[in-house]
Amino acid sequence: MSQVSIERRDGIAIISVDNPPVNALSQAVREGLTRYIDEAADDDSVQAIVIICTGRTFIAGADIREFGRPPEPPHLPDLIARIEAADKPVVAAMHGTALGGGLEVALGCHYRIATGSAKVGLPEVSLGLLPGASGTQRLPRLIGAERALDMMLSGKPVKAQVALEVGLIDQICDDDKLRDAAIKFAVSKVASGPRRISEMTVPDVEPDLFDKTRTAIARKTRGLMSPEKIIRCVELSTQVGFDEGCKAERELFLECKKSPQSDGLRHAFFAERAVSKVPGIGKNTSVRATDKVAVLGAGTMGAGIAYSCLTAGCTVHLLDNDEEGLERGATTIRKLYEGGVARGKISEEEMADGVGRLSTTTDYG
């Protein structure tokens, strides 16, 4: 089954990506998008184009499993350039999360619409990378250098409403009406034509913005490669033309990608996900209810575990070698509850209920 498809409706070409679970930008997806963008651009019956995704999310990033392999065309920067070069308005219709390469694809489109629950971001810094498909050059032109730096250096996604307020997206729609809203929006932009970010200039910045940013993140990012390279790329977006900035971005991206630092962070990324997948245990595996827990050791860690189990509604049996240790553990648990009451997180009644489900013993038999 093809991972990309096209249909036409009321003069609008709707290009759909279907590559579960997160519609990653695999080679097949890149090839399909390129093919159908060209097809729609050459079709005189098509007045505008919508790029949308099926499933739970818009394109949630590049397929980083391809990073260890020789690159296969079409390359992501080339795809994005092809999208932007279309002489008909191209609208990105986003839901779920548009992250990394997914947001870069959206930035290559001429307009962007998103559901109210959508989030967008460039999290590459967490993998020791920088946005390497024109993101460091497009985002500052669209929302300003300072906001762009914040998004890229933090790696945190922003909500659709925030994205709308800063100009990253053009319209928000109801979660269940994205397709129809995107088509209607695309129709409304036929007369306006394409609006290309590459033809924009970065809004004026404070002269000391980049030096201040380097100073502000110096301690937190000490020893890391990609934050400084991100700053340099955004700085270049204010100093050189779009094409020259993209060339520098690509060179710096490849430096990061080839580094042991990024290799280690990507390894950790996959490892963290692998440990949550136990062989032989799938989504349909029956789960046995657990409402009674025994915790061995009433020290700081044991008391904390016991408290967490109590707050989850379990009955907890706390074991230790002597009564003195048990008393310290029980006192720690009571103080944790009292802290919750003081902060207004729980009521006195909930504290009493939790403490009432705690029993202690020195008998391991």
Q: Print pLDDT tens along the chain (365 aa).
A: 689 999 999 999 999 999 999 999 999 999 999 999 999 999 999 999 999 999 999 999 888 778 778 888 999 999 999 999 999 999 999 999 999 999 999 999 999 999 999 999 999 999 999 999 999 999 999 999 999 999 999 999 999 999 999 999 999 999 999 999 999 999 999 999 999 999 999 999 999 999 999 999 999 999 999 999 999 999 999 999 999 999 999 999 999 999 999 989 888 888 887 887 888 887 788 888 889 999 999 999 999 999 999 999 999 999 999 999 999 999 999 999 999 999 999 999 999 999 999 999 998 76
- Whether 338 sits among the annotated catalytic residues: the reply is no
* Domain spanning 4-269: CATH superfamily: 2-enoyl-CoA Hydratase; Chain A, domain 1 (3.90.226.10)
Residue 315: per-residue pLDDT = 96
3-state SS of the chain is CCCEEEEEECCEEEEEECCCCCCCECHHHHHHHHHHHHHHHHCCCCCEEEEEECCCCCCCCECHHHHHCCCCCCCHHHHHHHHHHCCCCEEEEECCEEECHHHHHHHHCCEEEEECCCEEECCHHHHCCCCCCCHHHHHHHHHCHHHHHHHHHHCCCEEHHHHHHHCCCCEEECHHHHHHHHHHHHHHCCCCCCCCHHHCCCCCCCCCHHHHHHHHHCCCCCCCCHHHHHHHHHHHHCCCCHHHHHHHHHHHHHHHHCCHHHHHHHHHHHHHHHCCCCCCCCCCCCCCCCCEEEEECCCHHHHHHHHHHHHCCCEEEEECCCHHHHHHHHHHHHHHHHHHHHCCCCCHHHHHHHHHCEEEECCCC
Break the chain into its structural domains and give their ranges: 4-269, 292-361
- Whether 104 sits among the annotated catalytic residues: the reply is yes
- Candidates 31, 66, 84, 104; catalytic one: 104
Residue 274: per-residue pLDDT = 81
**Fold observed for domain 292-361:** Rossmann fold (3.40.50)
Residue 70: per-residue pLDDT = 83
Instruction: Supply the pTM of this predicted model.
Output: 0.80
Residue 284: per-residue pLDDT = 83
Residue 1: per-residue pLDDT = 65
Residue 105: per-residue pLDDT = 98
- Candidates 84, 124, 235, 249; catalytic one: 124
